[in-house]
Structure 1
Amino acid sequence: MILNIYVLIALGVLLPKGGTADAHNRKYVVCYQGTWATYRQSNGKYDVNYIDPFLCTHLVYTFFGIEESGELRVIDPTLDLEENGGHGNIRKFNALKLQNPTLKTIAAVGGWNEGSRNFSIVANDPERRQRFVRSAVQFIQRHGFNGLDLDWEYPNQRHDLTFDDKNNFVTLLRELKEGFKPFQYLLTAAVGASPATASISYNITEISKYLDIINVMAYDIHGAWDPATGINAPFYASKNDITEGSRQLNLDAIIKYWLAQGAPREKLVVGVPFYGRTFTLADAAQHSVGSSSLGPGTAGQYSLEPGSIGYNELCERMRTEQWQVEWDEVQLAPYAYMGQQWVSFDNPRSIGLKAQYAKDNNLGGVMVWSLESDDFRGICGGEKYPLLQTINRILFDGRTATGLTQSVLNMAAESIQRPVAPGYAVAPVVGSHTPQQGIVLDPRDGGVCTSQDNGYVRDKHDCGKFYYCNQGMAHSFNCPHNLKFDLESTTCNYPQSVDC
């Protein structure tokens, strides 16, 4: 399908009214994808082609690693890259922007399995920090991402080093931001949520200066590591939370803490889980929140991790198994039990309440972990992505994050037969299965959109990167790997054919 941006703008669905968006009103839907789900079996298998690029404002590719030297590391070359017969997952992921011109893609470095030690070593050394900045810039340029997400879990924790991670993290973010500035790359982070964790790891006021989006992981509050059952991502404190510390372990208290410590409201994004935490009850007859647990509950049939189960896995099971579902009126979350199995999870109702909270409190939006755990096939209720769709309906008043949908694209495709406005040229992007079209005016020098700019502008630093300008707002694009944006033909073309 060919995307006619001129038609989309005429329909009033591509950009906010006036071509700009107030930072305090803009809402993000940040979607992490666990790329390893491509190896899952049957209905759990999740590839890039299952991603709906219109339900997220930012897509985050997880994960890449960090070497002790400061180099960024590709963890699964066969999946991620195209060399040596690889699957080319990164290229496919970034090609989703050819369907949705407002979508941003971000490369995530870190994660729980990557650990904390290498981050600490790199952040403590000026030479290693600069090597990491250079490596990150080169990686983003090569693969066509829009930015980097740091998922260091966690500064000053999970290692035996004596470095000052809290301040070194600030320095690392500042140097990354400086290195990204010429290219306007985004810098985001997934952060430990609770006051107990955050106070050890972060100078919140300082890190907020350099981060464009702060993804607060307000989940894993309770799990099989606890001696009793608990809600994975509670909204408010429960009657069992009698200590000051335990009363801070809920979404409302977490967000209030981050705001009080200096996090800008518009950068703070509420993290919600698309998975549940499972327990094995000590006594099947005692199944309320806070009941004694023997340890992890059954694993999801696709994710195969004891103590955890995706929403898609759980809702499938509930169709054939006799689970009893309850609603915690205080913590505003569901839980369920069957025999000695007990699970705390989020459903459309609880997810909707959290999205409404983000909206009512003028927060940046909602982050989801992670796409492959939603009911992406629509097996349970007929609607694909019921959790993600709920977030979109609430944050955007019944529309998607950009107003774009498949039906709008179909309208655009049908309109291609109509004459294009005088003075404009329409041309496809070479080297993609999904060509892209749009308004093309005489390119401006400098690569910066002014309020008068309308059309495509090539980046002055990177010939493989270009922008679509509309009344001062820039939407960035990257040509497929090894192609350059040709100002004469207004296509992504082979380097030898481009004057760059």
Structure 2
Amino acid sequence: MSASAPATEQQFTNDNPAPAADSNNNQIPFNGPATNGSIIAGYFANWKIYERKYNVTDLALQAEKLTHILYAFAKIEENGQVVLSDAWADVEQPLPADLAINGVDDVADQGENVHGNFKQLYLLKQKYRHLKISLSVGGASWSTNFAAIAADPAKRQTFVQSAVKLVADVGLDGLDIDWEFPNDDNEAASYVQLLAEARAALDAYQQQCQQVDQPRFLLSVAVPCGPDNYRKLRLSEMQQYVDIFYLMAYDYAGSWDNVCGHQAACYNCPLNTNQAVNDYLAAGVPSQKLVVGLPMYGRGFSNTDGPQCAYQGVPQGTWEAGLFDYNCLPKPGATEYTDMEKLASWSYDPNLREFITYDTPEVISAKCNYIKQNNLGGAMFWELSADRHPEDPRNLVNAVYNVLGDQTDTVSNHLQYPYSRYENVRSQMA
């Protein structure tokens, strides 16, 4: 059906999970912009509730200072179906009162109700109406099937319908697509078509719900900052469908390199954020759609004398080899350094001969000034569980808010989902 055609309740059911987009991708006129101020976004990874014990209640401690949450990740099956990667964490687990936003024990029941993280996120949205939640699909682990799905009209339609149905079922505000990465122009063209149909289906669902006077459901993409990857994308075609481009402005250096490097430098390095920003702008992406990613982790190198020096191996890391959560840095015995010309920081332990590249609050603040000076859309973190406590002076969300918080995005979230499969979402948790 056309995205601008009238929709009825029967068109959005479990048998026909989302209105199909037509090939013309007709646009619906929505009132107001997708954003009206600086974005402060962060990824919430569903697997962090386990060993790291980072829950939605931890996220709530800084909900006033965040504008967007990207819920990572939904996965994609070979037929194009988008499914939850951990149903227990996402929609099934009844959480005790101390892990509930409303302070009330969640109880498993006989009805079809959402529980788990998505119930808590809905309750969080009720409390903080400026906070928008998007479902992020793919990521490094689940991008394998994107190319085949995007190239196949039937699979593409399955992807779009199932993704929009998930957004509508669990009470979210948009869809974030993280395809890592299209390999050639054919895949880039298929990506544009996938985005066009996703945009049309989100708009059609919103029209069906008779909410065209409400803020538009968001469509965002996580995109690379390495020229070899982003120069393959059809960015000027993508941008007409995409509200936010989340620049993955990190992992510029790592264990794949011959020498130690800065993993998130803004300037004067072989890979750097400023080059990527300028290239995206030159390709036709509006500045306010560009959101600069910031790492909440460090990459370590062993047996080295520091930046641009050879190394041998990587240290053990916090949870996996070579990677350290920001809240563990700098390690005892290490000295912290900053290069304000590159906008890069790191620590070095001369006894261990260990170099770790990460962003300090000073560098984060300087990057946020860069964002303001260039009229960019805001900042994004991968990922929020690794930050220090909000009361810690080295907390990175606070560092961003201190610079961008004078005019953050206040576009309201969505609370009405009349066709959700879950009774408590349909009733707004009443």
TM bin, normalised by shorter chain, reads 0.7 to 0.9
2:156 maps to which residue?
129
CA distance in structure 2 between the partners assigned to 1:37 and 1:141 by the alignment: 24
CA distance in structure 2 between the partners assigned to 1:32 and 1:474 by the alignment: 19
One of 244, 266, 271 as aligned partner of 1:235: 266
2:87 maps to amino acid: P
One of 223, 233, 236 as aligned partner of 2:254: 223
What SS does the corresponding residue of 1:281 show, helix, strand or coil? coil
CA distance in structure 2 between the partners assigned to 1:112 and 1:130 by the alignment: 22
TM-score by length of 1: 0.69
1:34 maps to which residue?
45
1:264 maps to which residue?
286
CA distance in structure 1 between the partners assigned to 2:158 and 2:362 by the alignment: 45
2:57 maps to amino acid: N
The correspondence of residues 370-385 of structure 1 with structure 2, limited to 5 A, is: 370-376=383-389, 378=391, 382-383=392-393
One of 357, 379, 393 as aligned partner of 2:402: 393
One of 108, 123, 126 as aligned partner of 1:95: 123
2:338 maps to which residue?
327
Are the aligned partners of 2:265 and 2:273 in contact in 1 as well (CA < 8 Å)? yes
1:365 maps to amino acid: G
CA distance in structure 1 between the partners assigned to 2:198 and 2:409 by the alignment: 28
What SS does the corresponding residue of 2:312 show, helix, strand or coil? strand
Distance 1:492 1:74, change over 3 A: closer
CA RMSD of aligned residues (A): 2.4
Are the aligned partners of 1:50 and 1:376 in contact in 2 as well (CA < 8 Å)? no
2:312 maps to which residue?
294
Q: Deviations over 1:189-234 (max 9, x none)?
A: 100112221012x101011111010001111001121111110100
Q: What's the CA shift for 1:105?
A: 0.5
CA distance in structure 1 between the partners assigned to 2:425 and 2:34 by the alignment: 32
What SS does the corresponding residue of 1:353 show, helix, strand or coil? helix
1:347 maps to which residue?
360
1:441 maps to which residue?
none
One of 314, 321, 329 as aligned partner of 1:314: 329
Are the aligned partners of 2:303 and 2:312 in contact in 1 as well (CA < 8 Å)? yes
Q: What's the CA shift for 1:265?
A: 0.9
Are the aligned partners of 2:67 and 2:408 in contact in 1 as well (CA < 8 Å)? no
The structure whose RCO (Cα within 8 Å, separation 6+) is larger is: 2
TM-score by length of 2: 0.79
Q: Deviations over 1:273-330 (max 9, x none)?
A: 1111111124xxx23x101111222301xxx111111111224xx3xx2112222243
The correspondence of residues 321-470 of structure 1 with structure 2, limited to 5 A, is: 321-338=332-349, 339-376=352-389, 378=391, 382-383=392-393, 386-397=395-406
2:268 maps to amino acid: A
Structure exhibiting the larger radius of gyration computed from Cα positions: 1
1:179 maps to amino acid: A
CA distance in structure 1 between the partners assigned to 2:241 and 2:89 by the alignment: 31
Are the aligned partners of 1:280 and 1:296 in contact in 2 as well (CA < 8 Å)? yes
Are the aligned partners of 2:170 and 2:425 in contact in 1 as well (CA < 8 Å)? no
Task: Return 5+ residue gaps in structure 1 as ranges.
Answer: 1-19, 158-162, 239-245, 403-472, 494-500
Q: What's the CA shift for 1:477?
A: 1.4
CA distance in structure 2 between the partners assigned to 1:25 and 1:176 by the alignment: 23
Distance 1:195 1:484, change over 3 A: closer
Is 1:476 matched with 2:414? yes
Are the aligned partners of 2:343 and 2:367 in contact in 1 as well (CA < 8 Å)? no
1:138 maps to which residue?
165
CA distance in structure 2 between the partners assigned to 1:474 and 1:272 by the alignment: 24
Paired residue total: 365
1:255 maps to which residue?
277
CA distance in structure 2 between the partners assigned to 1:94 and 1:376 by the alignment: 23
One of 217, 228, 236 as aligned partner of 1:185: 217
Is 1:78 matched with 2:106? no
Distance 1:198 1:209, change over 3 A: same
Is 1:69 matched with 2:82? no
